[in-house]
Structure 1
Amino acid sequence: MAVKAEPVAKKEKTDGRKQRSARSRDKIKTSILTLIRAGNYAPRAIDISEHSGLSMRTVFRHIDDMESLLREIAGDMQKELLPRFLQPYTATDWRGQLDENIARRVAVWEDILPVRLSASLCRFQSKFLLEEYQQVLELEGASLRAVLPENITADEACFNSLNEVLGVGCWINMRMDRGLSADAAQAVVRRTVEALIASAG
């Protein structure tokens, strides 16, 4: 029995709806990130609607599946940021590699500061954000452990202290809660790292 072909007009109409939906979704993701970077760390549907120019009905239809939307936004950001974070070191000694690690961390943390702050505020309302936050912590620890010598990684208190001061959470605290400039915060990070390394057994 022959399969009845779908009418061309119907298929084109369906494809058109999918394309419009994809464009709307991209506008919503862009608006969410733009609003967060502007200081609106928990944008409401009405904020997204006004910024994107989309109707409230369209916005609600997409943000009703917020977990999926957050995964797409996080995936887009990872594609942009992970290559910066994981690029090979130019230095061959651990001190040089640690210096590069610090430099790239503070640069990335500063770039994504509003987004990480928003995620921190909202992570307990989202299983995905909790999982993603934990993955960031694991990446921080693994990348640091990879460059430090054994006498420092074996000193659990020293390693944990280094991991904390070099983490995005500490950066958020210094920049947002303490009100330090990016340069001042980086100076604190480097001074603390040097003191901790000097104290390692």
Structure 2
Amino acid sequence: MAVKKAQAVVRTTSGAVGETVHTDGRRARGERTRLAVLDALLHLVEQGELRPTAQAVAEEAGVALRTVYHHFEDVEALRRMALDLQLRRHGELLAPVDPKADLGDRIHLVARQCRKLFEAVTPIRRAAMFDEQSSPDMAEGLRRARLVRRNFVTAAFATELAKRSADGRTLHDAIDAATSWESWYYTRSSLDRSAAAAEKILALTLHDLLTGRSTSGR
């Protein structure tokens, strides 16, 4: 009797393990498919197709259209999650800057890291412009992204901001505007400047704001 009970337990346990493995495998395949769909949208956006249809994304990912809608409620949700994915992937580009380092070095590091981040996310960020006003979820995602960048810059220049407490709020806002993606995009697209030139403009702006001295004549 004891042997039969033990065998029954083994069979039950084996079945449970097998079912768990099967479930985990299905979940992993689903996650791979979901990621493939997101990457397909990002690839299309990087190629200049800012608002690809679900059908175009499905074809790029090599999946059926119904698969796209199985993983995403609608195209807006797909774009929102693609933006989140891209921002997470490139979030490490904003590495902490030592606030005790030389100011010139900090300005250089902040300008360089902003350049790398903005150049990486510009395609999907441009696509998100269409949804920011109409989608609360997209607007919230962009708000969080701006906050991460704002906190990064604030930490880098904490010493200077503390010394200028009288006009700290205005200075903080000016630095926030100067280091925003919107400002970067204006320089790159409307002024038609190269990434290297835009980085120099950003560094010059930060220097003038933080020191109160202009270097434009140098």
What letter matches 2:84 in structure 1? A
CA 126–153 in structure 1, closer or farther in 2 if over 3 Å, else same: farther
- Runs ≥4 in structure 1, deviation > 6 angstroms? none
5+ residue gaps, structure 1, are none
Which residue pairs with 2:208 in the alignment? Answer: 195
Is the contact between residue 99 and residue 106 of structure 2 (CA under 8 Å) also seen in structure 1? yes
Is the contact between residue 179 and residue 202 of structure 2 (CA under 8 Å) also seen in structure 1? yes
Whether 1:184 aligns to 2:194 is no
Further displaced range: 155-164 or 47-56: 155-164
CA distance, structure 1, for counterparts of residue 202 and residue 35 of structure 2 = 37
5+ residue gaps, structure 2, are 1-7, 214-218
Further displaced range: 11-20 or 102-111: 11-20
Which residue pairs with 1:31 in the alignment? Answer: 40
CA distance, structure 1, for counterparts of residue 124 and residue 82 of structure 2 = 14
What letter matches 2:124 in structure 1? V
CA distance, structure 1, for counterparts of residue 96 and residue 107 of structure 2 = 13
Is the contact between residue 122 and residue 129 of structure 1 (CA under 8 Å) also seen in structure 2? yes
Which residue pairs with 2:146 in the alignment? Answer: 137
Identical aligned pairs, as a percentage? 20
Which residue pairs with 1:151 in the alignment? Answer: 163
Name the SS of the counterpart of 2:133 in structure 1: helix
* Count of paired positions: 197
CA distance, structure 2, for counterparts of residue 87 and residue 67 of structure 1 = 31
Whether 1:166 aligns to 2:166 is no
CA distance, structure 2, for counterparts of residue 59 and residue 141 of structure 1 = 34
Which residue pairs with 1:86 in the alignment? Answer: 95
Is the contact between residue 152 and residue 159 of structure 1 (CA under 8 Å) also seen in structure 2? no
What letter matches 2:119 in structure 1? E
What letter matches 1:48 in structure 2? V
Which residue pairs with 2:114 in the alignment? Answer: 105
Further displaced range: 41-50 or 146-155: 146-155
CA distance, structure 2, for counterparts of residue 38 and residue 157 of structure 1 = 39
CA distance, structure 2, for counterparts of residue 20 and residue 193 of structure 1 = 47
Which residue pairs with 1:43 in the alignment? Answer: 52
Offset of 1:28 from its aligned partner? 0.3
What letter matches 1:23 in structure 2? R
Which residue pairs with 2:216 in the alignment? Answer: none
Which residue pairs with 1:74 in the alignment? Answer: 84
CA distance, structure 2, for counterparts of residue 40 and residue 153 of structure 1 = 45
Offset of 1:73 from its aligned partner? 5.7
Which residue pairs with 2:5 in the alignment? Answer: none
CA 93–64 in structure 1, closer or farther in 2 if over 3 Å, else same: same
Whether 1:121 aligns to 2:120 is no
Further displaced range: 29-38 or 55-64: 55-64
Pairwise CA RMSD of aligned residues? 3.3
CA 47–195 in structure 1, closer or farther in 2 if over 3 Å, else same: same
CA 125–190 in structure 1, closer or farther in 2 if over 3 Å, else same: same
How far does the alpha carbon of each residue in 1:57-77 deviate from its partner, in whole angstroms, 9 at most, with x for none? 212222226648844762564
Higher Rg: 2
Is the contact between residue 49 and residue 59 of structure 1 (CA under 8 Å) also seen in structure 2? yes
